[in-house]
Structure 1
Amino acid sequence: MLVAPEDLPIPPTRGGSVQIYLSHLCAALAERKHIDITLISPGNVAQSKQYTHTPYRHIVVKGDKKTYWRRVHRFVKAGEPDVVQIDNRPLEALHILEANPHSKVVLNLHSLTFLGPRHIKTEEARTILQKADAVVCNSRNLADTIARRYKLKHNWRRHVIYPGVQSTTDTPALTRGHSTDTMRVLFVGRVIRQKGVHIAIEAIRQQHRQNNVSLTIVGKTHAWEKTYRKQIELDAKGLPIKFVGFVPPHELTELYKKHHLLICPSQKHEAFGLVNIEAMNHGLPVIASKLGGVPEAVGKHGGILVSRYQMPSEFAKAIDKMRDPKRYNKMSKYALRHAQKFTWKKTARKFDHLYRDICPAR
């Protein structure tokens, strides 16, 4: 039984990296015939009826956060699954572990966010990290960071399982003739300060003074970041920058086809940065901040990793370097090959092995 966070529905019609991840993972796990998958996610009655044809059981729960988790507890207790996997909600994983001693509990962490003090007390975090039957991290960096922060040595069951990307037959970016055209740069993610959108805008301003370059910004802004959104829209005035808002995941392919580079100027820890792999999967080299698990995603030659990521000028220089056709084509080819190592089939196989390890009798 896989349990999604309480905030967004699955399928991810309204976005959400964890929701996109779970929709692909469940589909891949369902192809492994010996696993009986049940997914619990929030939603409404219409969504419940619309998504009854998945290759796995999908329970859609209507209600607020408290109602959602109360009903999750009921489903777990009634179903007595061999494994309960909670994605990115360590406090709820702890509650389920305490209430269901006969089920194996897997905590699947996508970031550090919900291990922070706003969401869980330090001792509670240490408890679930030590007592969960498995803690899955989406990068080695995330696992190492958690171990250091909570002083965990050999008393937790850590597993690193990378996410996957859907295979694509799209034309790689290297055939798009960027050397005689405007360098088209793409940003995909939440339009918030910690994602460094302001850094990308200033980098474009610096490049625009001397070269043809444009930036497309894809993503929505949380309510508490509206002031930031207004400021960056002001900063972007007069520049070849376009805000397109939220784009459903299945429509992103068309945007990747129309751009040459992905820029990912994160200003805070990124556990992995799946958007980098998704762009590379379409042949786009990446210019990204060198922090967290991003280097694991980008690899050695899939783009340019910026060490001084607080400085827009460093991203501007990286964009300029990509104007060299030889360098660009080499990175584009590597990006495509590297991204193809990350498949949902491989991810599902590793989860399958993990479930077998913690439930050997099954």
Structure 2
Amino acid sequence: MTEKFLKILTGINRPSAPSSGSMILVRDLYSAMPETRTTFLGREPVDPAWQAAFGELTALSTVKRPHGPHFDSYVDELTREVGALIEKIQPHAIHAQYVGFALSQAFSRTAGNIPIIAIAHGPDVMVAERSAWEREGMYEVAAASAAIVAPTAALADRIDRLTGREFTNRLSVIPWGIRLSEARVRAHPPTEEGPLALVHAGRLDENKSTATAVEALALTEQPHHLTVIGHGVLREHLEQQALELGVRDRVRFEPFLPRAELWRRLPHFDAFVGTTAGLEAFGLVLIEAQAHGLPVAYSDVPEVREVLGTTGVPYTPGDPRSLAVALDEMGRDAHLREALTSAALKNARRYDISTTGRRLRELTLRVAF
């Protein structure tokens, strides 16, 4: 039986390049979705490799004004541009990335009879929890959507609460995934006890709380080394913090790496450290680490606990002493690390991007036909 061919319109209102976890996820997701032609709305500059992942990529021309007194007029202009594109493309369904952000609002105002699936990423939920104005945007998009997708039940519950539990029956949980076939595990992981070569990768901001890992290094009994990979507003602060704590010689800072390079590097470390202290939509980089056989110490926030559970070592969010204890335990116990590696690989196998693509496609077919 021939599968029904789907035309999907989606987009993220940023330069079209693999600059964040969500951008990489979206590229992987629509590449993995069979019998589908996806038109992606993004921004200049466009990465050539990014463009190849979609049936068509259109750069939006409306000048961005995402904050301040001109936001409403900006959304109005964006809505007119998006409306013309919808009329031209005539998709079977629209996937509105980030529930409540400007582009998803534009989709919700111009879709007409075309069904919308709103897809949450985390930052949209974070801003809605802080601002009544942002909650209004989330509510508008949720009300216009036939379905709302979150990668974890914990994140779905936050959205449900923020929208007054009026759209509970529209919420679906579809876990994120990665290209598991491209992950490589170190052939002979170290079995000796002693200090660990640790790695942390992600945005360097308050929510990601990389400072917890730096502070923990000053509290460990063993002289572990930490490599921090990523960019963000707190980079200089973290470097100064490491200097003041006397661990600058054990902390190495590196810029954001393309995924292929990050994945090439991961097997050379002994363990991964996740530090998010607030909201984490899913923790995709933790699954990337597990897929490469790395034991993971993770901040015990609800969304990550749901994804990793007992396959990693949890510690109290934002508590460097709790993390230090977890790191020393892994450093002293090679058998524990071996068990965590086995558990990590088994857990990662649950999160293949092809499964994410198949489930989202099935949901889209249900709402579109």
Query: Are residues 36 and 196 of structure 1, via their aligned partners in 2, closer, same or farther at CA, if it must alter by over 3 Å?
Result: same
Query: Are residues 350 and 50 of structure 1, via their aligned partners in 2, closer, same or farther at CA, if it must alter by over 3 Å?
Result: closer
Is 1:25 paired with 2:29? Answer: yes
Partner of 1:59: 58
Is 1:39 paired with 2:49? Answer: no
Query: Are residues 242 and 167 of structure 1, via their aligned partners in 2, closer, same or farther at CA, if it must alter by over 3 Å?
Result: same
Query: Are residues 188 and 50 of structure 1, via their aligned partners in 2, closer, same or farther at CA, if it must alter by over 3 Å?
Result: closer
Worse overlay, 346-355 or 162-171:
162-171
- How far has the Cα of 1:230 moved from its partner? 5.4
The structure 1 residue matched to 2:11, chosen from 4, 8, 15, is 4
Query: Are residues 299 and 56 of structure 1, via their aligned partners in 2, closer, same or farther at CA, if it must alter by over 3 Å?
Result: farther
Cα pair 1:199 1:265 within 8 Å, conserved? yes
Partner of 1:276: 286
- How far has the Cα of 1:91 moved from its partner? 4.0
Structure 1 residues 84-107: Cα deviation after superposition (integer angstroms, max 9, x where no partner)? 111114243233222221211111
Worse overlay, 173-182 or 320-329:
173-182
- How far has the Cα of 1:113 moved from its partner? 2.8
The structure 2 residue matched to 1:101, chosen from 112, 120, 132, is 112
Query: Are residues 16 and 53 of structure 1, via their aligned partners in 2, closer, same or farther at CA, if it must alter by over 3 Å?
Result: closer
- How far has the Cα of 1:278 moved from its partner? 0.7
Aligned residue-pair number: 346
Structure 1 residues 304-348: Cα deviation after superposition (integer angstroms, max 9, x where no partner)? 111x22221110110111121111101101101110111111011
Q: How far apart, CA to CA, are the structure 2 residues paired with 1:132 and 1:290? A: 32
Cα pair 1:186 1:262 within 8 Å, conserved? yes
Cα pair 1:174 1:333 within 8 Å, conserved? no
- How far has the Cα of 1:233 moved from its partner? 4.8
Partner of 2:324: 316
Q: How far apart, CA to CA, are the structure 1 residues paired with 2:47 and 2:317? A: 43
The structure 1 residue matched to 2:256, chosen from 246, 252, 255, is 246
Q: How far apart, CA to CA, are the structure 2 residues paired with 1:195 and 1:333? A: 26
TM-score normalised by length of structure 2 = 0.85
Is 1:232 paired with 2:241? Answer: yes
Q: Identify unmatched segments of 5+ residues in structure 1.
A: none
Q: How far apart, CA to CA, are the structure 1 residues paired with 2:248 and 2:240? A: 14
Partner of 2:158: 145
- How far has the Cα of 1:172 moved from its partner? 3.1
- How far has the Cα of 1:198 moved from its partner? 1.1
- The SS at the match of 1:246 is coil
Q: How far apart, CA to CA, are the structure 2 residues paired with 1:119 and 1:95? A: 19
Query: Are residues 91 and 303 of structure 1, via their aligned partners in 2, closer, same or farther at CA, if it must alter by over 3 Å?
Result: closer
Partner of 2:228: 217
Is 1:82 paired with 2:92? Answer: yes
Partner of 1:328: 337
- The SS at the match of 1:36 is strand
The structure 2 residue matched to 1:126, chosen from 127, 139, 143, is 139
Cα pair 2:197 2:224 within 8 Å, conserved? yes
Query: Are residues 2 and 18 of structure 1, via their aligned partners in 2, closer, same or farther at CA, if it must alter by over 3 Å?
Result: farther
Partner of 2:196: 183
TM-align CA RMSD: 2.5
- How far has the Cα of 1:169 moved from its partner? 6.2
Is 1:290 paired with 2:300? Answer: yes
Q: How far apart, CA to CA, are the structure 1 residues paired with 2:286 and 2:9? A: 25
- How far has the Cα of 1:36 moved from its partner? 2.3
Query: Are residues 37 and 149 of structure 1, via their aligned partners in 2, closer, same or farther at CA, if it must alter by over 3 Å?
Result: closer
- How far has the Cα of 1:55 moved from its partner? 5.8
Q: How far apart, CA to CA, are the structure 2 residues paired with 1:355 and 1:27? A: 16
Cα pair 1:188 1:275 within 8 Å, conserved? yes
Partner of 2:149: 136
Q: Identify unmatched segments of 5+ residues in structure 2.
A: 1-7, 65-73
- Aligned residue type for 2:304: V
